[in-house]
Amino acid sequence: MLDRIFDLAKINNTIAHFSKKIRDIYYNYLINEFGVSFTYHSNRIEGVNTTLTLNDTKKILNNTYDFKGVVDKEKQREINETMNHQEAFKYIFEIIKQDIDILDVITTIHKIVGNNIIIGAGSYKRRENYMLLSDGREIDFTKPEKVSQEMLKLRDLYMGDWQKLTVYDRAVNLHMAIVNIHPFSDGNGRVARLVMNYELIKNNYPPVTIVESQKLSYYALLEEININTDYENEPLNYGNIDLFSETIQQLSIVTFKNMQQFLHNIL
């Protein structure tokens, strides 16, 4: 654990002291290389992409995909989901040096993710939503009339107590809060992962990709953290996040090592 913390401190110091030239290359790598994988896997985890391959995703985002040959509405939706997610990821780089209310960040990211796909994208849900757990139990998320109140609590925590935490713990708490409140009618998981990466990038840490093959363990981890959570009434009162935070730290180190190899190949 101490080795990982030391590695992360060195990574943070390295990124924080990038020259403008290297930082531009780094951001370009994150958007055009890391971003392809992040978009593909985040959409696959949510089940909104069932037919597009990773190579298809790369072609779509590089504008080399055969768009004219698409006649199926579901395929077109998946293409739109892909392009929207990448646009939301790009948005992060537009705002990381700005002082923007975290709730505005969250709702704007959702608006981009749901553009022309999710009705009311960028606005809080108007109908109740629920989720089936791995044991078959159904849990109801925060009721629509309570979402604004819970999101204000999220902002207060983010501006207050969470600022005393490590960046990784703060990023994970943002993820947990969005998933647990489930403020939108759809797209909550994708927004949670995007906002988590926003917090990491903003603070000079590498973002993370949770790949599709890790979906079951990822969901199991969230269920374990929420084993005693009252989603409807106290969605922000969840369990210990240490294992989740450690997992995100390890994935962040993987991103940095991949970026180092990329830089080595072009410089």
Token duo for residue 140 = 């109801």
Give the pLDDT confidence score for residue 3 in this predicted structure: 62
Q: How far apart are CA 91 and CA 28, in angstroms?
A: 13
Lowest-confidence segment of 3-7, 96-100, 242-246, 258-262 by average pLDDT = 3-7
Lowest-confidence segment of 50-54, 104-108, 179-183, 263-267 by average pLDDT = 263-267
Taking only the tens place, the pLDDT of each residue in 71-100 is 688 889 999 999 999 999 999 999 999 999
**Can you tell me the mean pLDDT for 209-237?**
96
Tell me the pLDDT band of 1, cut-offs 50, 70 and 90.
Answer: low
- In the predicted structure, residue 266 carries a pLDDT above the cut 90: no
Domain parsing of the chain, residue ranges: 2-266
Largest CA distance in the chain: 54
Q: Beta-strand (E) ranges in the chain?
A: 130-132, 138-140
Please list the residues that pair with 130 across neighbouring strands: 140
What is the third-level CATH fold of 2-266? Fic-like fold (1.10.3290)
Give the pLDDT confidence score for residue 171 in this predicted structure: 98
Taking only the tens place, the pLDDT of each residue in 140-175 is 999 999 999 999 999 999 999 999 999 999 999 999
Place of tokens 């749901």: 114
pTM for the structure as a whole: 0.96
Residue-wise DSSP of 55-113:
HHHHHHHTT-S-GGG---HHHHHHHHHHHHHHHHHHHHHHHTTS---HHHHHHHHHHHH
**Can you tell me the mean pLDDT for 167-188?**
98
Token duo for residue 250 = 């390890």
Looking at residue 230, what DSSP letter applies? B
